[in-house]
């Protein structure tokens, strides 16, 4: 370890969560094995990261570093790797793991908690906001159950890349500051087929104003710990929703109902965004739902390639496909209902909670209509015509394997001149089709006729063409974190070369801007990736 003084000791910590909420009285001592157990009557347990062999920084996010006020020299220092692998605690840190529960795949699973994520504490960023720094893969905690508290490089690369990609796409998300290789091996049975392998380990430093999940509230409701539950509700409203309690307004049932309604609204917008960019979370358990409406816990997520609303990337979900693309909005509603059930013991007033849940459905519907209008370049959604336009589009997209992202991006290039020939009409979107030979006969006719209706519909708005194109390009990304691109970056990093991660982050920083010379990044999934693990399907093993 290098000698101080350390710039990271200048980070300004203000650890509200550990200062204001009830702690597990049992503290795990450094050097002694952490005892896995049920933690009752507490929101968190103090626990320190366990040292790793040889921390080595593979990547960081420039934007996040800047937000935290970290300069280039600090980012390149060995101390940065040491701190963000968990080998050295910066001054002011108060490391802890949160207690939460959750419904997994629809069933109550009891206590889960941060089994491998350890928060260092909350730091004040350059704008004066609190940001929790959390190390994922930092070693065992009381919540690790039978697992090791570690994370493998492949899943850490995926979390790092996707958090940053989502941020630049404008989708609410937890962020990633850094990706540090640990130098240790982690054993995982990736295919759950009894062939465990030693893989390189890593730690991602995640950053968010709060990592509180629906499950944080659920666990106290399930245990009938109403005082702790009340404290966590108050804490969350005061710190993360302060606009609801301006002027010293006391937290009563009305405020709690307004807060829950806001969680519903934020969640609705989140799902609209996921659907827009073609993101499938893959494990929408209630412990993976952020109270701030952020995308949280990047596990076996995936991006739609050919448009298939039935698709789920998660092999564990292959049976019922509960978390498939086209069902994410319903699952979010179900999850919000579980949160409402957890709040009810405190408010004893179901009506406002039900109203908020209905509000979710309405906000999602309106959001999704507005999003459809933007994506298709319409001045506004007109239910009279546009519902049919949407339904017909789904039929067209499913008539032959069609790349979801390429289709929408290229649609902006299709001429709205009714005099254009069928060939010229279709030409801009040809790159979206996986089976070019199928683009004949009825399939082609279906596409042409949809494009003609779309032309007519856009024409009716009578708007300047560049205005329409601008509107479409601002919501239909050209570059997303295609599953096979992420896998290529993982393969190279596992072979010791992190440069593909850096390239990918660079491209994904400007997802809506055409980047000449970066053609490889906006292509259809290549054939080799169709069946390759990591590209087409993922297990939860991480």
Provide the binding-site residues for ligand AMP, judged by CB under 6 A. 112-116, 143-144, 147-150, 283, 287-288, 297, 299, 540
Give catalytic status of residue 497 as yes or no: no
Q: What 3-state class would DSSP assign to 355?
A: helix
Q: What 3-state class would DSSP assign to 104?
A: strand
Nearer to Mg ion, 89 or 283 (CB): 283
DSSP string, 119-169: EEEEEE-TTS-EEEEEEET----TT-TTS-S--BHHHHHHHHHHHHHHHHH
Applying CB under 5 A, the span of 158-166, 287-295, 301-309, 502-510 interacting with Mg ion comes to 287-295
Q: How far is the CB of 277 from ligand AMP (least distance, A)?
A: 21
Q: How far is the CB of 291 from ligand AMP (least distance, A)?
A: 15
297 binds Mg ion (CB under 5 A): yes
Residues that bind Mg ion (rule: CB under 5 A) add up to a total of: 2
Residue 112: which H helix or E strand, with range? none
288 binds Mg ion (CB under 5 A): yes
Pair of tokens at residue 44: 């968190």
Q: Which residue among 82, 184, 287, 317 is the active-site one?
A: 287
C-alpha triplet 397, 401, 405: angle, nearest 5°:
65
Q: How far is the CB of 142 from ligand AMP (least distance, A)?
A: 11
The item of Mg ion, ligand AMP, none sharing an interface with residue 388, based on CB under 5 to 8 Å by kind, is none
Q: Are 446 and 399 in contact (CB under 8 A)?
A: yes
The item of ligand AMP, Mg ion, none sharing an interface with residue 279, based on CB under 5 to 8 Å by kind, is none
The item of Mg ion, ligand AMP, none sharing an interface with residue 281, based on CB under 5 to 8 Å by kind, is none
Q: How far is the CB of 114 from Mg ion (least distance, A)?
A: 9
Applying CB under 5 A, the span of 2-10, 188-196, 282-290, 369-377 interacting with Mg ion comes to 282-290
Q: Give the separation between CA 272 and CA 268, rounded to whole angstroms.
A: 6
Nearer to Mg ion, 225 or 297 (CB): 297
Q: Kindly calculate the radius of gyration of the chain based on its CA atoms and give it in whole angstroms.
A: 24
Q: How far is the CB of 268 from ligand AMP (least distance, A)?
A: 22
The item of Mg ion, ligand AMP, none sharing an interface with residue 201, based on CB under 5 to 8 Å by kind, is none
Pair of tokens at residue 445: 């006719």
Q: Give the separation between CA 498 and CA 535, rounded to whole angstroms.
A: 19
Nearest to 233 by CA among 119, 110, 343, 100: 343
The total of other beta-carbon atoms located within 10 Å of residue 452's CB is 14
Q: What 3-state class would DSSP assign to 201?
A: strand
Q: Give the separation between CA 522 and CA 504, rounded to whole angstroms.
A: 11
Nearer to ligand AMP, 299 or 313 (CB): 299
What letter does residue 195 receive in the DSSP assignment?
Answer: -
Nearer to ligand AMP, 282 or 367 (CB): 282
Nearer to ligand AMP, 112 or 123 (CB): 112
Q: How far is the CB of 330 from ligand AMP (least distance, A)?
A: 20
Query: Under the rule (CB under 5 A), what is the footprint of Mg ion?
Result: 288, 297
> Which positions are catalytic?
287
């Amino acid at each position: 370890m290098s000698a101080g003084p350390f710039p990271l000791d200048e980070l300004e910590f203000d650890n509200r969560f550990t200062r204001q909420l009830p702690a597990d009285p049992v503290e795990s001592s450094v050097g002694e094995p952490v005892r896995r157990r049920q933690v009752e009557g507490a929101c968190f347990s103090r626990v320190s990261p366990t040292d790793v062999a040889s921390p080595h920084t593979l990547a960081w996010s420039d934007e996040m570093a800047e937000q935290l006020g970290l300069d280039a020299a600090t980012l390149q220092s060995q101390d940065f790797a040491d701190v963000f692998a968990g080998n050295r605690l910066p001054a002011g840190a108060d490391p802890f793991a949160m207690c939460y529960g959750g419904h997994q795949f629809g069933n109550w699973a009891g206590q889960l908690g941060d089994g491998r994520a350890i928060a260092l504490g909350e730091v004040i960023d350059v704008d004066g906001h609190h940001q929790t720094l959390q190390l994922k893969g930092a070693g065992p905690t009381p919540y690790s159950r039978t697992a090791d508290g570690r994370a493998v490089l492949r899943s850490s690369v995926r979390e790092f890349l996707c958090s940053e990609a989502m941020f630049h796409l404008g989708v609410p998300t937890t962020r990633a500051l850094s990706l540090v290789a640990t130098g240790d091996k982690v054993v995982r049975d990736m295919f759950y087929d009894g062939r465990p392998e030693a893989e390189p380990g890593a730690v991602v430093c995640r950053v968010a104003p709060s990592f509180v999940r629906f499950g944080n509230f659920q666990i106290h409701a399930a245990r009938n710990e109403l005082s702790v539950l009340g404290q966590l509700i108050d804490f969350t409203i005061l710190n993360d929703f302060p606009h609801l309690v301006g002027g010293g307004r006391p937290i009563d049932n009305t405020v709690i109902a307004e807060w829950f309604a806001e969680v519903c609204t934020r969640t609705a917008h989140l799902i609209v965004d996921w659907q827009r960019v073609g993101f499938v979370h893959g494990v929408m358990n209630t412990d993976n739902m952020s109270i701030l409406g952020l995308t949280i816990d990047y596990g076996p997520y995936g991006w739609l390639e050919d448009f298939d609303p039935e698709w789920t990337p998660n092999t564990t979900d292959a049976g019922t496909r509960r978390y498939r693309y086209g069902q994410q909005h319903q699952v979010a509603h179900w999850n919000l209902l579980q949160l409402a059930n957890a709040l009810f013991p405190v408010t004893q007033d179901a009506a406002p909670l039900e109203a908020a849940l209905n509000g979710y459905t309405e906000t999602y519907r309106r959001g999704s209509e507005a999003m459809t209008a933007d994506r298709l370049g319409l001045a506004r959604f007109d239910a009279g015509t546009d519902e049919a336009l949407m339904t017909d589009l789904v039929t067209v997209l499913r008539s032959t394997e069609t790349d979801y992202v390429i289709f929408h991006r290229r649609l902006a290039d299709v001429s709205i001149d009714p005099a254009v020939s069928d060939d010229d009409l279709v030409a801009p979107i040809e790159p979206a089709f996986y089976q070019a030979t199928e683009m004949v006969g009825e399939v082609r006719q279906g596409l042409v006729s949809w494009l003609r209706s779309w032309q007519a519909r856009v024409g009716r708005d009578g708007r300047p063409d560049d205005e329409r194109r601008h509107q479409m390009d601002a919501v239909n990304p050209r570059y997303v974190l295609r599953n096979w691109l992420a896998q290529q970056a993982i393969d190279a990093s596992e072979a010791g070369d992190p440069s593909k991660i850096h390239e990918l982050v660079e491209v994904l920083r400007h997802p809506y801007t055409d980047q000449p010379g970066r053609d490889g990044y906006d292509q259809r999934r290549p054939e080799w990736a169709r069946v390759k693990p990591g590209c087409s399907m993922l297990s939860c093993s991480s």
